[in-house]
A = this chain, B = another copy of it.
Amino acid sequence: MKTVRTVDELRQELRLRRAQGTGAVGLVPTMGYLHEGHASLLRQARKACGTVVMSIFVNPLQFGPNEDYETYPRDEARDLALAAREGADLVFIPSVQEMYPKENRSQIIVSRLTSKLCGASRPGHFDGVTTVVSKLFNLVQPDFAFFGMKDAQQVAVLKQMVFDLNMNVEIVPCPIIREQDGLALSSRNVYLSGEERRQALVLSRSLREARSAFEEGRLETAGELRSLLTEVISSSPLADIDYAEVLTFPELEPVEEDAPLSGVEGEIIMALAVRFGRTRLIDNIVFTPKEVPACV
C-alpha cells in the first residue's frame, strides 16, 4: 500500500497503475478515524476493483461555523493500519492547503434534495460534500465510488450530481454497519458519554420498531410511522430530536401523511437526526413498502 499526500503524487501513482492495466479503479472517500463501516466499504471496493484508492480528508468546506471541524477525531496511524489490513492500494491524505491551494470559488450545488433532512439543519453542508467529492472524482477518475448508507442523503445527493453532470463514475451505496447492540457506526460516537451512548440506542430501536409495526400491518401511514419514531425516541430523556422523517428515496419527497404507504411506488426512507448532548447522530432505514422491508 502506498500513501500519497499531494495531488501530483496521486496522479503519478494512478498513471502508473493504469499503464499496468490493473483494471477498474474504486474510490472510498472518507474523513478518517476509520471504523468497521469504512472497512466494509474497502472490502466491497476490493471485491469489485483492481485498484482501490481511499482518501482521508476532513473537508472544512462541509462543516458549518459552529460545527466540529476543529475537534473532528483524527488518528492517522490507526487509519493507515486499517486501510492496509483491508487491502487498499493507495491512500490519499492531502492537507487542506493541497486540496484548496487558493481561496476556493467554485462549488457544486444540488438543489431540492439538499434542502431536506440534514441539509435543513446544516446549511451549506452538502455543497461542501459535492464540491470535495467532485474534486476527488476528478483527481482519481474512479469507475466506482463507495459510500455508506448511514449517510443516505449524501448517497442521494451524489447520485443526482453524477446523473446531472454526466460524471463517469458509479456511486455504490453500501449497507449501514452497526454495533452488536444496534448503534450505527460513526466516527462521532467517540464523543458520547457512557450514558449518552446507552440512550443513543433509541435511534436504531425506534427504526426497528417502526419497521416491525409496518411489516405486521399495525401501522400503515407515514404519519403513524413518524409518530411512533418520535414517541420511541422521546422516551430517552437525553434525546433532542432534530428530525424524524418519512420520505421517498432517493428523491426525498414527502409522502401523503394519511395514505397507506403500500400505495407508494419505489423506496421509502425513515431518517433520524438526534442530538445527545453536543453530539448529533443520524440513522435511517430504506425499504420498499410493496415488499418485505430490508433489515435495519
Which residues of chain A have a CB within 8 Å of any CB of chain B?
7, 102, 104-113, 130-131, 134-135, 138-139, 141, 160-161, 163-168
Q: Which of A111, A112, A160, A164 has the most CB of B within 10 A?
A: A164
Give chain B nearest CB distance to A148 CB in angstroms: 22
Question: What residue of chain B has the Cβ atom nearest to residue A163's Cβ?
Answer: B102
Question: In the complex the two chains form, what is the Cα distance from A108 to B166 in whole Å?
Answer: 13
State in angstroms the CA–CA spacing of A109 and B109 once bound together. Answer: 7
Which chain B positions have C-beta within 8 A of A7? 166
Structural contact, B168 and A138, CB atoms closer than 8 A: yes
Question: Is B166 touching A105 in the complex (CB atoms < 8 A)?
Answer: no
* Shortest CB distance A3–B (Å): 19
Query: Is the contact region of chain A dominated by helix, strand, or loop, or is it mixed?
Result: mixed
Q: List 6 A-B contacts (CB under 8 A).
A: A105-B113, A106-B110, A107-B108, A134-B165, A135-B165, A138-B168
A108-B109, A135-B164 are known; give 6 further A-B pairs, CB within 8 A: A102-B164, A105-B110, A105-B160, A106-B110, A138-B166, A138-B168
Closest to A106 in B: B164
Task: List the 8 closest pairs (A to B, CB-CB), nearest first.
Answer: A106-B164, A138-B166, A135-B166, A105-B111, A106-B161, A106-B110, A139-B166, A138-B167
